[in-house]
Structure formats: structure tokens, C-alpha cells
Chain A
Amino acid sequence: MNTFDKVVALIAERRDLDTSTMKPETTFDDLKLDSLDKAELVMTLEETFGITIDTAEQMKTIGDVVALVEQS
């Protein structure tokens, strides 16, 4: 599974969302995810990928998340 698919799976699993509509341009607002969902996603990403994410503020789209994970 590539990073994009893994990230989408993690987002969908916690919030029971439909992954088929998720694209790199999909924003957190599109998914109706709020700041606490974002904070929890950062925790899950850090736990799953064994990384530290400092710049979570810049995460607006799924594409941003994938880029941050790949950089770390």
C-alpha cells in the first residue's frame, strides 16, 4: 500500500468514512473533520509511522498529510 492509501485508510477507519471519494485535494472541511480530529490524526500518524510531525498547522488537504508523512 502506498502512503496515500495508508493515510486514507487511517482517516476513514477512525471516523467511519467512505474512502472512494478521497483524493489528494480533499480538505479536512470537505470531510467535516474538525481541529480535534486533526490532532487525533496526527497522533495516529505518529504512532503508525513512528515519526514526529511538527508542522500539523499546514495540513489542509489529504495531499498535505501524505507529503508531511513522506518527509518525516
Chain B
Amino acid sequence: MGFAIIGTGSALPSKTISNEQLSTFLDTSNEWIESRTGILERRVCTTETLTDLCAQAATAALKQAGLTPQDLDLIICASITGDTIIPSQACMIQSALGTNCPALDINTACTGFIYALDIAAGYYARERVKHVLIVAAEAMSRIVDWTDRSICVLFGDGAGAAVLGPGDDLLSIKISARGDDKALFLEGHVGNSPFSAFRPINPFVSMDGQEVFKFAVGSLVQDLRDVIAQANLQMEEITYVLPHQANMRIIKAAIPRLGLAPQKFLTNIARLGNISAASIPILLDESSREGRFHPGDILALSAFGGGLTSGACVFRWGLPHSE
């Protein structure tokens, strides 16, 4: 299908917050956070804007692809925490890179990168594009309540990018949605219209942990089975699984259900926490640059999140092995 990934990039804010540091102002502990989630530390924005991180990630991906921003035909940004609503975060990236191609944002929460790949596949099928930039970026630190120990410990900030070019490496892809505003919720802008019946309630993410856990494990398992079958592959032919990094317990529950060796599941949640849509592309970039992948490797990505949305895909890795 349609494209190859010809460059990846990622960018993280410089400040690291450990579980111990969180314990100094929240009633929590390293032991509690680590055993419940697998997270040891996370990055948070201080002076960095999301646009800064996006531009950095995009520039790294373009450099690896051997392209300039002017070579891009489309920019898709997946984010729920853009610096601005107007302009879109994609337009802010376009401006920062100094190019003038069409640009759009999508909101499919943590499933953002997969949905963006699916959208790009459509543009390739219509032969409308040669080079597409996908950036998935979040400053989750903006939308979590830092007085609520059950939520703020889970998330982190960062940006991941991928540049797509002509090719045939996408072997299968699946996206789905199931509207549910109870499992994961963040209210929108309410404003101060004197005529509106609504008032702002709570500007922070809320979550039903158990419901999300069950949805996550179920989706992770079923979506991967579906896309692997759709690609006419056997489970064992998958070289690596890159699951959304929401909670190590989700990944651990999925492993026996999928029957794949645990070493095939890549993670970075211990260092970075859950960065929503950015988790997977950051993991992809880091793994690539540390020399994990070889051309021909079969990678399976699987994400799930607010919406509720989920998605998965299988693609062949085409970039040369990094030393």
C-alpha cells in the first residue's frame, strides 16, 4: 500500500520529573507508581512550546529523509494539546518550518499516529502527494490536574514525527471508534456566553481506569490480530510490536493473550510515561536511531485512547540499519 516511512524524528522537553519528585507534593510514592504503571520518570515542558518540539522532531525526520520542508505536500498533526486552536498546530509547524503546503490537525487522542497514517494512505491512493509529514505531539502536562495523584503521574510531554515517501511498505491498517465520554473525558471550551446553559466544569482529563484498561487490552489484542491477518502474516512473522505506551500493565496483559515473545514488545514508558499520540512515533524514532531495526523488519503498531478510538497497522521497515 501507498507509502514508505523515509525518516523519523522525535523531541523531548529537557526537564525530567522522577516519581520521587512527585512524591514531594503528592501523596504517592515511587513504589506505588512503578508497580501500578511501570513509569519511573517523565519529561515536562517548561519553556518549550509544543511548536518547538514539533519543529525539532520534524526537522530531524526531514534530515533523515534527505528532504527540505519545501518538498512536503501535506502536514498532518495529531494532538489534543496544541499551543493554539487557531492556527492549527499543523499550521504552526508549517510556519515554523517555512513551507506552504496544506496542513491539518486531527484529534483521535492516543490513536492519533495510526489515524494519521491511514489518512495519508488515502492521499497516496488518490496520488495527491509524494511526501507527507506526520507529527504527533502532546504537552499532557497542560491538561492533567497536578493536584490529582491518580492522573498526573501517568503522563508526559514530547513530539514524534515521520516523513512518508512513495513506496509500498504499509501492509495493513485498521482504525475504529466507539463514542464514550465517560471512560476518558476532557471538556471543551465553554466560554462566557450569557445565553449558554453551560458553565465550565473541569479543565482536566478524567478517566475511568478500569474501563480504559479493559478497552485498551481488548483493542491491543484484537486490532493486532486483525491487521496481522489482514496482511496475510502469521504472528511469528512480526519482528517488533510497538504498542501505545499507556501503562505497562496493559502491555503485560496483552502479551500472553497474543502469544508473542515479550522481547518483541518495545517500550519506553519507564522513562517517558504516556505521551498520548506521540508515544508511538517517539518509540519508533528512538528504536530506529539506537539501531534496533533492519530493512525488511515487520513492525506492528497498536494504539488505543480517548474517543474511544483504537487502531493498528503492520508495515515493513525500509530504512538502512543505524550504527
- A interface residues with partner B (beta carbon < 8 Å): 34-36, 38-40, 42-43, 56
Determine if B218 and A43 form an interchain contact, defined as CB atoms under 8 angstroms apart: yes
- B interface residues with partner A (beta carbon < 8 Å): 36, 209-210, 213-214, 217-218, 247, 249, 253
Q: With a CB–CB cut-off of 8 A, which chain A residues contact B209?
A: 35-36, 39
Cα separation A39 to B213 with both chains bound (whole Å): 7
Nearest residue, chain B, Cβ from A32: B35
**Contacts A43-B217, A43-B218 hold; do A38 and B253 have CB atoms under 8 A apart?**
no
Cα separation A39 to B211 with both chains bound (whole Å): 8
Q: With a CB–CB cut-off of 8 A, which chain B residues contact A38?
A: 210
Cα separation A35 to B213 with both chains bound (whole Å): 10
Nearest residue, chain A, Cβ from B32: A34
Q: With a CB–CB cut-off of 8 A, which chain B residues contact A34?
A: 36
Q: With a CB–CB cut-off of 8 A, which chain B residues contact A43?
A: 214, 217-218, 253
Q: With a CB–CB cut-off of 8 A, which chain B residues contact A35?
A: 209-210
Determine if B214 and A39 form an interchain contact, defined as CB atoms under 8 angstroms apart: yes
How close is A61's CB to chain B, nearest CB, in angstroms? 18
Determine if A42 and B36 form an interchain contact, defined as CB atoms under 8 angstroms apart: no
Determine if B36 and A39 form an interchain contact, defined as CB atoms under 8 angstroms apart: no
Nearest residue, chain A, Cβ from B37: A36
Q: With a CB–CB cut-off of 8 A, which chain A residues contact B36?
A: 34, 36
How close is A47's CB to chain B, nearest CB, in angstroms? 8
Of A34, A35, A40, the most chain B CB neighbours within 10 A belong to A40
In order of increasing CB-CB distance, the 4 nearest A-B pairs are: A39-B210, A39-B213, A40-B253, A36-B249
How close is A48's CB to chain B, nearest CB, in angstroms? 12
